[in-house]
Amino acid sequence: MMPRSLLLAVMLALLAPTALFAAPTKATVTSVSGTVEVAPPNSTTFGPLKAGSKVEVGSTVRTGADGIAILVPVPGCAIRLSNSTTLVITQAELDQAGQQVTSRKASVELKDGTVSTLINSKLMQPADFRVQTAQGVAAARGTFYAVTAKPGKTYVAVKHGKVGVARAKAP
């Protein structure tokens, strides 16, 4: 009979390659048109944002009156920032079992303006994407929707799929 400590070591070795872990990612900027700027986490200093750049979680991205940008926080989830939009990337991570991606998680806090999101539900399962505003949160798993935030109001439009909308909790 195998000693308990050796059995435990063998079991851990067998499970190690398939252990679940979350890996934070950076959003990839796939397209920029007009004035688009980014401030790194914990900073209020903005600089120009260019296509191909990587944006860290906690960064603030803003578009000018002529600006449009497309960000991909995790594979299969794209965010289009319309003109005069400000948002903070609050989460971008992949959950993995070994080398296999088991889920994608991304969220943004929309301060002002409009974002459109497209989540490819067929690329990998499941996807969890959320747009938080002062009034609430819109969440989807595989759909195409837009959120507009203005002072005191939030609007959600669904083009395809289903989106859950929940009111923000009072502070």
The CATH number that applies at residue 32 is 2.60.120
Residue 99 has a pLDDT of 73
Domain for residue 78, yes or no? yes
Residue 12 has pLDDT above 80, yes or no: no
Domain for residue 24, yes or no? yes
155 close to 165: Cβ distance less than 8 angstroms: no
Read off the pTM.
Answer: 0.75
Residue 45 has a pLDDT of 97
Number of domains composing the chain: 1
Residue 63 has a pLDDT of 97
pLDDT digits over 94-134, tens only? 887 777 777 788 899 999 999 988 877 666 566 788 889 88
68 close to 79: Cβ distance less than 8 angstroms: no
Residue 8: enclosing H or E segment and its boundaries?
A: helix 4-15
pLDDT digits over 26-62, tens only? 999 999 999 999 999 999 999 999 999 999 999 999 9
Domain for residue 111, yes or no? yes
Query: How far is residue 158 from each of residues 42, 117, 128, 139, 146, measured CA to CA in Å?
Result: 33, 10, 16, 11, 7
Residue 124 has a pLDDT of 56
- Between 6 and 48, where is the model more confident? 48
Question: Mean pLDDT over all residues of the chain?
Answer: 80
Domain for residue 92, yes or no? yes
Domain for residue 41, yes or no? yes
Domain for residue 59, yes or no? yes
Residue 36 has a pLDDT of 98
Q: Which letter does DSSP use for residue 63 in this model?
A: E
Residue 94 has a pLDDT of 81
CA–CA–CA angle 91, 96, 97 (5° rounding): 160
Domain span at 52 = 19-167
Query: How far is residue 136 from each of residues 110, 164, 167, 168, measured CA to CA in Å?
Result: 10, 10, 4, 4
Distance from C-alpha of 81 to C-alpha of 149, rounded to nearest angstrom = 12
Domain for residue 11, yes or no? no
Domain for residue 7, yes or no? no
